Structure 1
């Protein structure tokens, strides 16, 4: 199968996680991510150069963040109608992992996450228009409830429509997307730090937490592959 054919083969998060050869990667809300512990900026640059030489790494793909101790790589397919994972991302993920192994750079799947800001609104379209203008964001393909950074740097914004005023709860919160095998530990750490579990009704998709003053946040996972963790 060619890269062009794979480009239109859409992949769900669970399918991605259950595919052999992708153990370095986790789907965390905005695409599939891997973190490689390089130990130095120079080694990180070496890894990026090797990735850039892969035939499939073209047209601005993948998104790469280089820091002094490691490199974060994100794969996601963006078209006018689609914002998600495809077969091409699967193949490129395998190739990037192979390059890292050749350079003896270890991956740390537990180190990846993405953050999303969620706004609950009564006047949805008007609120979206304000945030689109303020942030310089654009609509996410196929999802009018989302705004995304066209430069793929800032956190996405997600908008949920309210059917009534809700003064008893905050209407803006943070969603933290973590690897499916890190959710239980992350939630436990947040509770140990003074938080509380508000709801696990949507587990294992996401859990609602609150800080000591009642400000809410969600821990989300994509493509859960194991038993639902016991938290609280």
Structure 2
């Protein structure tokens, strides 16, 4: 189970479809339920897969195959090549969400990787989100959008147009929290308690464990807070 604030999103944002022009968006769940994309992880800011290439040359061969597929589809993913791995992120920028174009290209990329004998990383990967607590998202969203240069993904979410930075979302609260904000760190479920223990051993303090095991709120020596939460199954 992920942090319960996900459940409070309006239906149009969390469970329904949206349209922008002629491009219809799909939900992360609809993406994940499509055949041939079992290796991919999908969320509000795109679908991601990471391949264990083992060396840079193998990654380059996979990148070349992805390039050909992307050019043919006129749909271009974000690709990050490191020495032992290659990471792909799909997101339809013109629709501000996932679409069937992403599903089709993901299926083709998975097939190409299989042909090259390259396996996907099956362990859930860490991701970081920034949560800004506010009683009125519409009042502060313009500031955060302008200050960060991020694009609006929804009425409460901002996404890095380059696909590199963490998702920023406006967390609804009943009253202001003194201008303080926190960072959400989502880690594989089997590693979450180890991560909490490591943070405490490094000088952190437990600010609130009343929501555990859904999430733990920790603080550093200066009082800056951070939530560590397990990834959903």
TM-score normalised to structure 2 length: 0.72
Count of residues paired in the alignment? 202
The root-mean-square deviation of aligned C-alpha atoms, in Å, is 3.0
1:171 paired residue number = 180
Alignment of 1:65 onto 2:80: yes
Corresponding residue of 1:22: 37
CA shift digits 1:53-104 (9 cap, x unpaired): 116765452111111111100112222xx43222222221111011111111
Shift of 1:172: 1.5
Structure number with greater CO (CA < 8 Å, separation at least 6) is 1
Greater shift in the superposed pair: 89-98 or 109-118: 109-118
| Aligned twin of 2:193 | 188
Partner of 2:54: helix, strand, or coil?
Answer: coil
Residues 208 and 218 in structure 1, CA contact (< 8 A), matched pair in contact too? yes
Residue in structure 2 matched with residue 129 of structure 1 by the alignment: 142
Q: Give the secondary structure class of the aligned counterpart of 2:123.
A: helix
Contact 1:64 1:74 in 2 (8 A): yes
1:145 to 149, 156, 166: 156
Cross-structure match for 1:44:
59
> Are residue 155 (structure 1) and residue 166 (structure 2) matched?
yes
TM-score normalised to the size of structure 1?
A: 0.72
Contact 2:28 2:44 in 1 (8 A): no
- In structure 2, list runs of 5 or more residues that go unmatched: 1-21, 201-205
Q: Can you give the 5+ residue segments of structure 1 that lack an aligned partner in the other structure?
A: 1-6, 227-232
SS at match of 1:54: helix
Equivalent of 1:12 in 1, 7, 27: 27
Give the superposition deviation at 1:150.
Answer: 2.2
